[in-house]
Amino acid sequence: MPQKIRRVVTGHDKTGKAVVIMDGDAPNVRVRPATGLVSTLLWVTDETPYTESAKDEADREIGITPPLTGSILRILEIPPESTRSAAENEAIAAEMRRSEAAGEQAGLQRDLNARHHGMHRTESIDYALILKGNITMLLDDSETDLKEGDVVIMQGTYHAWANRSKEPCMMAFILIGAKVPWKK
């Protein structure tokens, strides 16, 4: 069962006093049935500078990448890869190829010939914080093992996440739209 994430959002009342405007379990939780990955969208901004809003900015469907001038805060719970069969991994790879061919995710580019079905890059600078567990970051031709408390700063590079442990890994991602050198 996905871990619930408490989200507290502050704002201002009519007099300008700082107040809590939302407090509770983050409602925008999606489980990808094929992978078991749990994505909790906590907040999205469409532009910078940001204008304060009283509405729930995470109450929407959005792909992996943020708006070019905006940001996303998301927490992922990544299950161990050992929980999937070879056939399930091939089905995931086939769905990734289909999605890429259809151009379904603006600002996302997948490497369909990569060594891992999740290899992708985004039009963003990403701050990834490992909150719980262990994960392996795969780049074009290298791997880096990461543990709880580690932080990765990703500058639009091809990457994938491989959970080779026996426990789920929980990661927080802050994605900020960016102009990237590979996008003409």
Segment 6-54, tens digit of pLDDT? 999 999 999 989 999 999 999 999 998 878 889 999 999 999 889 998 8
What is the per-residue pLDDT for 42? 95
More confident call, 21 vs 86: 21
Q: How far apart are CA 56 and CA 34, in angstroms?
A: 28
Domains and CATH numbers, the chain: 29-177 (2.60.120.10)
Please state, in angstroms and as integers, the Cα–Cα distance from residue 76 to each residue in 14, 49, 131, 142, 171, following that order: 35, 26, 10, 23, 5
The residue with tokens 């094929």 is: 34
